[in-house]
Amino acid sequence: MPESTREYGFSFSSELRAPPEEVWSHSTHMRGVNREFFPLVRMTWPGAEGQLPAQPSLGQRLFRSWILLFGLLPIDYDDLTLVEFEPGRRFLERSVMFSQRQWVHERVVTPTATGCKLTDSVRFIPRLHPLGALQLGLFRLAFRWRHRNLRRLFSRGR
């Protein structure tokens, strides 16, 4: 495989003590996404609601989301495109970013006896190959942080 198309990837899972429907609603609302990332980054969205459509147009860019470091400094954008969508259970995003030739993010919410399990799997192909290993470390850190926040949001006092 040529170096310019090298793909990187990782996965994180968390057991959450909340109904799958609640976690899914959180996962498909940009305010929920931003709660997961807080305070590292914030993602923008058009309009006031920020809720993904119940049946999004698959394979078409839904919107461009600017990624703001600490909620202020633009560091990237994500042309958010869903290619698979199973309401209440799973989505597969395959997007283009300023920094990535391809960004693939799958989120799966699976019911368990005590709530649900949330799994994020990410694969990406950087535009600048020499930055791939650094980006892998940064993205893993961001998703580790997201899952830490998810466990805080959905595992206490339930």
Decide which of 82 and 53 is more confident: 82
* Rounded Cα gap, residues 72 and 63, in angstroms: 19
* Rounded Cα gap, residues 91 and 34, in angstroms: 17
CA distances from 76 to 16, 66, 98, 114, 116 (A): 30, 6, 6, 37, 31
Q: How confident is the model at residue 52 (pLDDT cuts 50, 70, 90)?
A: confident
Q: Which of these CATH numbers, 1.20.1740.10, 3.40.50.720, 3.20.20.140, 3.30.530.20, describes 3-39+78-155?
A: 3.30.530.20
pTM over 0.85: yes
Give pLDDT, residue 118: 98
| Whether pLDDT at 2 is above 90 | no
Give pLDDT, residue 1: 47
